[in-house]
Amino acid sequence: MWNNWQYRVLAILLALACWYVVSGQEKVETWLEVPLEFVNLPPRMEITSGLVSKLQVRIRGTSNQVRSLNVGRLAYKLDLGKINVGTNVIPLVPESMTITSAVEVVEISPTRLELVADVVVSKTVPVKLDWAGLPGDDVQFRNATVFPDTVTITGFASSLESLNSIPTALVQVPPDESLTASGRARLLMPKDVRTPVSSVSYELQFGLTTQELWVKMNLEPVRYETFSYTFEPKFVRIKLEIPVRLLKDKDWRESLHLMIDPGSNPAIGQSVIAPVPRFPEGVSILEAKPEEIEIVVQRNDEFVP
Mean pLDDT of 222-240: 94
What residues contact residue 158 under an 8 Å CB cut-off, 6+ apart?
Answer: 85, 118
What residues contact residue 74 under an 8 Å CB cut-off, 6+ apart?
Answer: 32, 34, 35, 57, 99
**What phi and psi values does residue 19 have, to the nearest 5 degrees?**
-65, -40
How long a stretch of residues is the chain? Answer: 305
Quickly name the fold that domain 120-208 has.
RNA Polymerase Alpha Subunit; Chain A, domain 2 (2.170.120)
Q: Which of 52, 49, 46 is nearest to 75 (CA)?
A: 52
Q: Which pLDDT score is estimated for 105? A: 87
Q: Which pLDDT score is estimated for 5? A: 56
Segment 260-302, tens digit of pLDDT:
999 998 999 999 999 999 999 889 999 999 999 999 999 876 5
Q: Which of 27, 34, 38 is nearest to 78 (CA)?
A: 38
Q: Which pLDDT score is estimated for 209? A: 93
Q: Which pLDDT score is estimated for 173? A: 96
Q: Which pLDDT score is estimated for 24? A: 42
Q: Which pLDDT score is estimated for 25? A: 54
Separation between Cα atoms, residue 233 and residue 225, nearest integer Å: 23
Give, in order, the Cα–Cα distances in Å from 230 to each of 20, 208, 238, 265.
136, 38, 21, 15
Q: Which pLDDT score is estimated for 97? A: 83
**What phi and psi values does residue 159 have, to the nearest 5 degrees?**
-75, -35
Segment 81-140, tens digit of pLDDT:
999 999 999 999 888 887 766 788 889 999 999 999 999 999 999 999 999 999 998 999
Segment 18-75, tens digit of pLDDT:
445 444 457 788 888 999 999 999 988 989 899 899 999 998 888 887 787 877 788 8
Q: In what order do the strands lie in the sheet with 139-147?
A: 139-147, 199-208, 180-186
Average pLDDT of every residue of the chain: 88
Separation between Cα atoms, residue 302 and residue 142, nearest integer Å: 55
Same fold for the pair 120-208 and 210-299: yes
Separation between Cα atoms, residue 217 and residue 258, nearest integer Å: 7
Domain positions in the chain are 25-110, 120-208, 210-299
User: Is 194 a residue whose pLDDT tops 70?
Assistant: yes
CA atoms within 13 Å, Cβ hemisphere of 107: 7
The residues with which 221 forms a beta bridge, in sequence order, are 260
Return the CA Rg of the chain.
47
User: Is 1 a residue whose pLDDT tops 80?
Assistant: no
Q: Domain 25-110, what architecture?
A: Beta Complex (2.170)
Q: Which of 243, 236, 233 is nearest to 257 (CA)?
A: 236
Cβ–Cβ < 8 Å for 55, 76: yes
Confidence of residue 7 (pLDDT cuts 50, 70, 90): low
Cα–chain center distance at 102: 58
Segment 257-271, tens digit of pLDDT:
999 999 998 999 999
Give the three-class secondary structure for 51. Answer: coil
Mean pLDDT of 213-225: 94
In CATH, 210-299 is 2.170.120.30: yes
* DSSP annotation of 24: H
Q: Which pLDDT score is estimated for 73? A: 82
Q: Which pLDDT score is estimated for 290? A: 94
Separation between Cα atoms, residue 73 and residue 300, nearest integer Å: 116
User: Is 303 a residue whose pLDDT tops 50?
Assistant: no
Start-to-end CA distance of the chain, whole Å, equals 166
Cα–chain center distance at 185: 12
